[in-house]
Every structure is written in C-alpha cells, then in structure tokens.
Amino acid sequence: MGLIDFLKDVGANVFGAGKDEAKEVEKLLKTDLGDKIKNLQVTFKDGVITLAGECDSHATKEKAVLLAGNIKGVAKVEDGGLKAPAPVEETEYYTVVKGDSLSKIAKKYYANANKWPTLFEANKEVIKNPDLIYPGQKLRIPKLNK
C-alpha cells in the first residue's frame, strides 16, 4: 500500500488538547483490532501517521490504515513498516461523497443495493453504525465471493 492520502479535516475526533496523538492512535487500533497486530508502533508528525508491526492478515493491515487515516487531523498514513501476509487479491477503496449510503455504494460496485452488509462487514472497525458514514471517509470495497 505505501503512503495513503486522506482528507485531513474529516473523520473521528480522537486528538485533543494535550494528548499524545501517536498514543491515541495506538489505543484506537488496539481497541478495534485487538491483538491482530503484534509489536505495534505508531508515530505522528505533521499530519502523517507511520505504522509498524506484524499483522495477522492483509485485511488487518488495510483496516489499521483506514482506522488511522479516518481520524480528523490525519492527512497521510505510511504503512511500509506494517508487515502482513500477501493479499489474496487487490483491494479497491472508495471515498464517501455527500449523499452516499452503503446501499448506494453497494449498487455502484455490486449492482445490488441489498449487498450493503458486505461493505459494512468489511469496514465494521471503521463504521460503527451502517447508517452513519460521512463524506471523505475511505472504505474497503471487497470482491464478492462467487
């Protein structure tokens, strides 16, 4: 993946006055991904989060990048130090725009709005409520199992 761009002014409000941004991101990743990343290391400087560690799967790596990047104040995530098994297939990403819903995105990618649970499951660490997605949020678009 490498260096992934995000919209700096949108996302979850995790950083606050006097908080150590790197520690807040590390806490968020550990809360949402549990022990799926061993030896997790996080740094934050000038809107860029750098992640390092060993992921149990490529999907975990993608989710860690999205969780870190969908934070207000983060412009980029560097994941070169985050090791993971090779992906089974290339993952596509989508940036939410105004007026989107998971059903609308499912219709676009799968030609079936009722496939929205597939999107929710693939992004449940990033999306806490399927009715609450916001413009600028990046989502994983998994391939449908045939």
Note the pLDDT tens digit of each residue in 114-138: 999 999 999 998 898 999 999 999 9
Note the CATH number of domain 3-83: 3.30.1340
pLDDT digit string (tens) for 13-28?
A: 777 666 789 999 999 9
Cα 106 to Cα 120: distance, rounded to the nearest angstrom:
10
Predicted local distance difference test score (pLDDT) of residue 25: 93
Q: Tell me the domain boundaries of the chain.
A: 3-83, 92-141
Q: Which fold has domain 92-141?
A: Membrane-bound Lytic Murein Transglycosylase D; Chain A (3.10.350)
Cα 68 to Cα 51: distance, rounded to the nearest angstrom:
9
CA dihedral 144, 32, 126, 91 (to 10 degrees): -40
> What's the gap between Cα 79 and its chain centre?
12
CA dihedral 97, 69, 54, 16 (to 10 degrees): -140
